Amino acid sequence: MKLALFDLDNTLLNGDSDFEWSQFLIRMGVLDAELFEAQNLGFYEQYKAGCLDIHAFLDFQLKPLSRHSRTTLDEWHQRFMRESVMPMVTQAARDLVAKHQSAGDVCVIITATNSFVTAPIAREFGIEHLIATEPEQQNGEFTGRVQGVPSFREGKITRLNQWLSGRGWTLDSFVDTTFYSDSLNDLPLLEIVRHPVAANPDDILRAHAQKHDWPIINLRSA
């Protein structure tokens, strides 16, 4: 049995669903452009630089979910999928996932982006298992707070171990473990799997991958 882990944003997607969700809400007029766009861009630059305060970001990202009903949010997300997500899905990414699925590997998307945004995207890829940052809910509605450990940096290892433990597994349960990611923020998890792969890597991850002879792949082709 083999385990294939996939980061989502800028890895399986040719773009960032977290960032694009806020931009989508701004275009919809749900969020004030002058106030939120600069903050959204600022958080995105911090993420790329490896200095993101995840709790400050989640406060920014999850609060809008608490201001609208789940029914309304789900309707907006359907439009978001059509307008913003589908253009970011490449055939190269679909083919990579299909290769692992055909081999019978256990496939998991593991992402810092919250599960409200990412669960429909995982379904689009046909990936059953999703480890994502979890927005807190009460009676099916979002509170604007995070539940549990955010799936970010070392938190991805924590959340992965929790997910494995819930199934009676550890990483050693698998004859092979592979993780595909684009980001320096995923170095903690990349360094504990047997086959780390830099997919569409940022400059820091690319340099690290070259130094350690990790494979580097491009999933951005249409």
Per-residue pLDDT tens listing for the chain (222 residues):
999 999 999 999 999 999 999 999 999 998 887 778 888 788 888 888 878 787 888 788 888 888 999 999 999 999 999 999 999 999 999 999 999 999 999 999 999 999 999 999 999 999 999 999 999 999 989 999 999 999 999 999 999 999 999 999 999 999 999 999 999 999 999 999 999 999 999 999 999 999 999 999 999 975
Catalytic pick among 9, 16, 105, 182: 9
CA-atom Rg of the chain in angstroms: 17
To the query of whether residue 176 is one of the catalytic residues in this protein, the response is no
Q: Is the dihedral of CA 28, 31, 35, 37 positive or negative?
A: negative
CATH topology of domain 2-217: Rossmann fold (3.40.50)
Q: State the DSSP string of 7-62.
A: -IIIIIBSS-HHHHHHHHHHHTTSS-HHHHHHHHHHHHHHHHHT---HHHHHHHHH
Q: At what angle do helices 54-62 and 17-27 cross, to 10 degrees?
A: 40
To the query of whether residue 7 is one of the catalytic residues in this protein, the response is yes
Q: Is the dihedral of CA 106, 14, 117, 94 positive or negative?
A: negative
* Angle made by CA atoms 41, 45, 51, in degrees to the nearest 5: 130
The amino acid present at 102, given as its one-letter code, is S
Q: Write down the pTM of the prediction.
A: 0.94
Q: Which residue, among 87, 105, 118, has the nearest Cα to 7 in the 3D structure?
A: 118
Please give the Cα distance from 9 to 200 (Å, whole number): 10
Tokens describing residue 51: 């200095």
Buried residues in 34-65 as b, exposed as e (16+ CB within 10 A)? eebeeebeebbeebbeeebebeebbebbbebb
- φ, ψ dihedrals at 14, nearest 5°: -90, 60
Q: In 10 A of CB 196, how many CB atoms? A: 23
Torsion of CA 166, 197, 132, 174, to 10 degrees: -10
Domain ranges of the chain: 2-217
Helix, coil or strand: residue 115: helix
Tokens describing residue 129: 């298992």
